[in-house]
Structure 1
């Protein structure tokens, strides 16, 4: 009995030390809770429960330490050896650690469980330990510990299932948050089709402008030809006026010649009449006198023959002059008439061509006016289409910005869910470490392992620059290119 009493004294001192270690470890527990709370590792809805559990369990530790001290005083030889002797199982060998060391190890496990924020029911563990210290058998204690361990593993499995459910919900939420109403590919295809139509309109406008330029050049050519024809027509009209003046002059000359001819005819008539009268008077005088005078003298000239010869000469000269005048007049008249006829034909041709050119010019002017109106309408349609497409591009840009904001929000949600998942994973790992520690405690070992501090998340800065490049292409060639920066965002995570 004395030897047993001597063995129990160190056990009692160890028990006291274990109780002190339990109280000091609860102080460390409070400091770890404050540290974890300052770092944001313990969720807010666990803090009140942990504080309440901490205060209640501190009181129970004090009472259990007092009861263990009194029980150690009443039965000083309660150890693993006495348990082995009382159970009668000689094959079981345990370490000689007293119950107080087991209580302190359980208190250490409790402090770690509270520092990790697992929210386990420590009150049941302490009550089972107190019951074991009061007088429960080793088998019942192991059965209770196995039940607690099974409950603990069930809670771990339930946490794993809840983690899986949370992951499934996160995936479903991500699938639901996927923007279905905003089909950017369809909008991009529509914008591409609209761009193709705009390019076609631009090409058609360029073709129309080319046709307008060609029409302007043709109109200029016709205007030059019309001016040349107008100049030619004016020269022909001047020639016609000159010919009319020449005709009037020739008419005057013809009238003068006709007057001269009439005067000559009258003079000839009067000469013939005078000659006939003189011949008649001379014949009558000669018949009345009938004097036969025979003169032996030289015969004088024959006046009748001379007069007849002179008459014939003058008549020939007059006839020749008349014929020459009539021939010259007829030739001149024919030439003037032919020139007048040719000038009239040329004038009629010029007038007809001028009227035709005027009609063609009027048609070209009407076509040019219609082309100008068509160009104005096409330019108005082009401006309206450009304004419409600019509004659509603005709406698409706003939709794209909204989708990018939603995407950034989804990324933030994913990052937050990832952080929550990592916290749950760390809690799970800590629970697994607690299970392993609990198993080692059941085997009689005490392991104190420092948990590494949580890693600090790196600071991520995101800077976004949207650059819009606008190119204008005609016939496959870039004729205009402009670029502008739409928006710049900078965010920190």
Structure 2
């Protein structure tokens, strides 16, 4: 809308300047015609004065000689013709004077129109420039406010991003720590499993050995046969040996029970270690999931910040282009006003020169008329 109003103002100023230029050209043509007519009139008057002086000289010379009456008649006739020519010149002078008065009135009218046009142009131009300046200031304030809001949002997002980055770094450190602990636990569990396997293998070997060495039933059969053959002789010895063997067997069985209980405790510790490993693995999986979620959220926030930066750059470019366009329009309007002012000043100078030239021509015509009347 501002650009359209500026175009209409420029076109209106161009039409006014065109009309003034046309009037000036017309006045120049009329003045050239008047100058030509005045020059012809002055030349004719001078010619007639020279001819009159010559005729007076001839008249004086001839009055002293012969044929004076005929020559007098001839010169009187010439004088009548000259007076007729002078009368025509006076009529032309009167017409010229009327045209000069008409041109003076036209110049006064043009001057008034010019003053009115200058006042209207100055008022309209100042109002348009004030309106444009207000619009530009409002747009600049709105753009600055939007940029401030966007900067605050960017700062908030950057602070949140830094917090997320610190949280992510802390989670990564925790993850690395948990990974090291898990690896240590796995190594410990593997060592315990290997140790349990060795203990179980050793116990199996021992059990197989004891299984093959366990000949209690055979010994009892032998003892029964011996007792049947020599029950009286070795009863006492048999009781002592039986007691000793029973104590030894009880001690051996106790040791075996203790070893079996110890191996069961180790197996329970291994199962506990496996449960801990499973828990650590589940925690590791959960940490990886949280890390992936945080990385995805961080990626979304980075993309949002990038989009906001692009939007800020686009709005800044549009604002700068709009301001540059407004500055170009203001410079164009100022240049047009300057050109119109220069042209109007030239017209005023030419008008003053024209008034001076008309006054000079009027003085010349009045001087010639006074001199003609004096004669």
TM bracket, shorter-chain basis: 0.5 to 0.7
Partner of 2:33: 55
User: How far apart in 2 are the matches of 1:366 and 1:155?
Assistant: 89
Alpha-carbon distance change, 195 to 47 in structure 1, aligned in 2, over 3 angstroms: same
2:177 aligned residue (221, 238, 257): 221
Cα deviation, residue 169, structure 1: 3.5
Cα deviation, residue 339, structure 1: 0.9
1:324 aligned residue (245, 248, 251): 248
**Helix, strand or coil for the counterpart of 1:183?**
helix
User: How do 1:380-459 residues align onto structure 2 when only pairs under 5 Å count?
Assistant: 380-420=303-343, 422-423=345-346, 426=349, 430=352
Partner of 2:299: 376
On the 8 A contact 1:233/1:350 being kept in 2, the answer is yes
Structure 2 unaligned spans of 5+: 1-19, 53-92, 364-375
TM-score, scaled to structure 2: 0.64
User: How far apart in 2 are the matches of 1:380 and 1:127?
Assistant: 87
Matched, 1:272 2:227: yes
User: How far apart in 2 are the matches of 1:311 and 1:153?
Assistant: 172
On the 8 A contact 1:163/1:424 being kept in 2, the answer is no
Q: Deviations over 1:346-368 (max 9, x none)?
A: 12221221121121111112212
User: How far apart in 1 are the matches of 2:94 and 2:168?
Assistant: 99
Structure 1 unaligned spans of 5+: 1-41, 74-122, 131-143, 280-306, 442-493
On the 8 A contact 2:185/2:277 being kept in 1, the answer is yes
**Helix, strand or coil for the counterpart of 1:48?**
helix
User: How far apart in 2 are the matches of 1:347 and 1:233?
Assistant: 7
2:236 aligned residue (305, 312, 315): 312
Partner of 1:127: 97
RMSD: 4.2
On the 8 A contact 1:233/1:347 being kept in 2, the answer is yes
Cα deviation, residue 150, structure 1: 10
User: How far apart in 2 are the matches of 1:336 and 1:175?
Assistant: 105
Q: Which has the larger radius of gyration?
A: 1
User: How do 1:34-433 residues align onto structure 2 when only pairs under 5 Å count?
Assistant: 43=21, 45-60=23-38, 62-63=40-41, 127=97, 159-175=114-130, 178=133, 180=135, 183-256=139-212, 258-259=214-215, 261-276=216-231, 307=233, 311-330=235-254, 332-420=255-343, 422-423=345-346, 426=349, 430=352
**Helix, strand or coil for the counterpart of 2:135?**
coil
Q: Which protein has the bigger strand share?
A: 1
More relative contact order, 1 or 2 (CA 8 Å, 6+ apart)? 2
On the 8 A contact 1:243/1:340 being kept in 2, the answer is yes
Alpha-carbon distance change, 56 to 176 in structure 1, aligned in 2, over 3 angstroms: farther
Q: Deviations over 1:25-46 (max 9, x none)?
A: xxxxxxxxxxxxxxxxx95641
Q: Deviations over 1:372-421 (max 9, x none)?
A: 33233334434444444443333333323322322332332243244345
Cα deviation, residue 54, structure 1: 2.1
TM-score, scaled to structure 1: 0.50
On the 8 A contact 2:150/2:308 being kept in 1, the answer is no
On the 8 A contact 1:219/1:364 being kept in 2, the answer is yes
Cα deviation, residue 159, structure 1: 5.0
On the 8 A contact 1:230/1:354 being kept in 2, the answer is yes
On the 8 A contact 1:236/1:347 being kept in 2, the answer is yes
Q: Deviations over 1:202-229 (max 9, x none)?
A: 4433433333332222222111111111
User: How far apart in 2 are the matches of 1:124 and 1:262?
Assistant: 177
On the 8 A contact 1:163/1:421 being kept in 2, the answer is no
* 60-69 or 187-196, larger mean C-alpha shift: 60-69
- Matched residues, number: 299
